[in-house]
Structure 1
């Protein structure tokens, strides 16, 4: 099995990017310096599955719409996408329904990095 354990989203201006992502995902990011690298971590929720997500600024981190795309699991594609666009993101892919799986959409942040959002279907009760 292969799963992402840590997702690092490259940013040029950590403070500005943290404000953007905080508004988009309605969370308080925690800025820390670890081993000389300054990062802004998304909060962990007890019992949540999946890897850690952090914004990273520094040597070797360049925001870009090219390369690997990160898709973050969220509860409501429409609400998150609306906040992203309101905060200055550009729409990359409209929400798409994938029957039996869920919905996803993509936006580019103000620095040009493309981020996907995924809302999984709820299992039948």
Structure 2
């Protein structure tokens, strides 16, 4: 592995219904997707910019993709966890793990998305400095 890059550079979230999943993620995270077909798989690609920190990925429908609560857990960044969880539940998500302090200046939570995947949220809390 290269010493000048992060270990993870891309992710794919399996879906059964690409339109339903895209609508779910658009509403929950206020994102726009680019729709594409790559190697016979229908994909909704998350926005990406080289100018900001982080990685991107896609919602993917295809023969080899199966949504699961037991697979890899991806955490999405949010600046307002309560509002994000509220939108997710309004869109049919099931709360799996409530907003909980992670003990290092932030919070985490998990929900089951529209397709049956376990998805995590992370919210960093900025430490106030006292001068």
Which TM-score applies when normalising by structure 2? 0.86
- 5+ long unaligned stretches in structure 1: none
Aligned match of 1:76: 80
Q: Which has the larger radius of gyration?
A: 2
Q: Give the 5 Å matches for 1:5-24.
A: 5-24=9-28
Instruction: Measure how far apart 1:76 and its partner are.
Output: 1.5
* Whole-Å separation in 2 of the counterparts to 1:4 and 1:30: 21
Runs of 4+ in 1 over 3 A off after TM superposition: none
1:28 aligns with 2:2: no
Helix, strand or coil at the partner of 1:92: strand
Which residue, 111, 114, 117 being the options, matches 1:107? 111
* 95-104 or 8-17, larger mean C-alpha shift: 95-104
Query: What does residue 45 of structure 2 align with?
Result: 41
Which residue number in structure 1 is paired with residue 69 of structure 2? 65
Partner of 1:52: 56
How much has 1:36 moved relative to structure 2? 2.3
CA RMSD of aligned residues (A): 1.7
